[in-house]
Amino acid sequence: MAPAARLDLADRVEALRLTYLFRGLPDEELAKLASVAQVVAVAKGQPIFGVGDRADGVYVVVSGSIKESTVGVDGGELVFEVFTRGAVEGEPGTFSFEGTRMVDLIAIEESTLLLVSRDALLEFGWTHHEVIVRLMAGLSQQIRQAVDDQAALAFRRVRDRVAMKLLDLAATHGRPEGSRTRIELPISQATLAAMAGASREHANRALRALAESGSVEHRRGRLVIDSQALRRILGEPLPAQQRNRADPVIDE
């Protein structure tokens, strides 16, 4: 890891406040947790943790972007999720019986994170029960997403898997642009392919087909999608992810 970045208490509190776990809690309460959180700075391409590492807490993204992935025996990469400012990562491993990481976490670009230890999070949760409820909801959502992804890999063709991941990205990193949604996250073709569980060649072919259908286009270096058109292609409505939205909305 790089030396800890300078981050004052107010900045730490703001970072926590943006997450699905702590949104809406009083700043004076969040300051107690922020004061014991560890600031971690990582360079582009740097591993933060790997599969099997000890899981000692959850990470909050303060700035930059990171990806959750795994690498197969053939060297192929499968990307599960991309995280930006306000996202929380590491809940499953932190609260598993084994207490070890289940995926690799790697910085896509230079990033600053907060590490909230398991003990600190649980202690905070004993007096703020809504945090524990949100944590359980977040874990449940990850299980749902894993089931959906496994079913897609088994039964969906590449075009559909790419469409599903674009809808996921629009739900977590999207902004309205007219009748469409602009995905604000700069996503490479290689990363999109890895998220869809496909080779880059097949994912690019699928993306071209979606563009030809009018449901996807490039504007000013970002992907812009027609969510309704993609759902029609898939033939079913899909629930939008909200656990790690860039501007999360949490319903109690």
- Same-domain pairing of 69 and 123: yes
Helices (H), 37-117: 91-94
**At 245, which amino acid appears?**
R
Which of 97, 121, 150 corresponds to the end of one domain? 150
Please report the pLDDT score of residue 236 as a whole number. 67
CATH number, domain of 20, equals 2.60.120.10
CA distances from 39 to 18, 83, 89, 101, 245 (A): 16, 17, 15, 19, 22
* Residue 250 resides in a domain: no
User: Domain limits at 181?
Assistant: 156-234
- Same-domain pairing of 140 and 164: no
Taking only the tens of pLDDT, the chain with its 252 residues reads 554 567 899 999 999 999 999 999 999 999 999 999 999 999 999 999 999 999 999 999 999 999 999 988 788 888 999 999 999 999 999 999 999 999 999 999 999 999 999 999 999 999 999 999 999 999 999 999 889 888 888 899 999 999 999 999 998 889 998 889 999 988 888 999 999 999 999 999 999 999 999 999 998 889 999 999 999 998 866 555 555 655 544 433
Please report the pLDDT score of residue 250 as a whole number. 40
- Same-domain pairing of 31 and 136: yes
Q: Please count the residues of the chain.
A: 252
Please report the pLDDT score of residue 240 as a whole number. 52
Which of 117, 135, 150 corresponds to the end of one domain? 150
- Same-domain pairing of 24 and 140: yes
Instruction: Characterise 213 by phi-psi region: left (phi > 0), alpha (psi -120 to 50), beta (else).
Output: alpha
* Residue 52 resides in a domain: yes
- Same-domain pairing of 137 and 31: yes
- Same-domain pairing of 166 and 96: no
The model scores a pTM over 0.75? yes
- Same-domain pairing of 199 and 223: yes
* Residue 248 resides in a domain: no
Q: How far apart are CA 3 and CA 20, in angstroms?
A: 27
Structurally, the chain folds into a number of domains equal to: 2
Please report the pLDDT score of residue 249 as a whole number. 41
- Same-domain pairing of 24 and 103: yes
- The DSSP annotation for 166-198 comes to HHHHHHHHEEEETTEEEE-S---HHHHHHHTTS
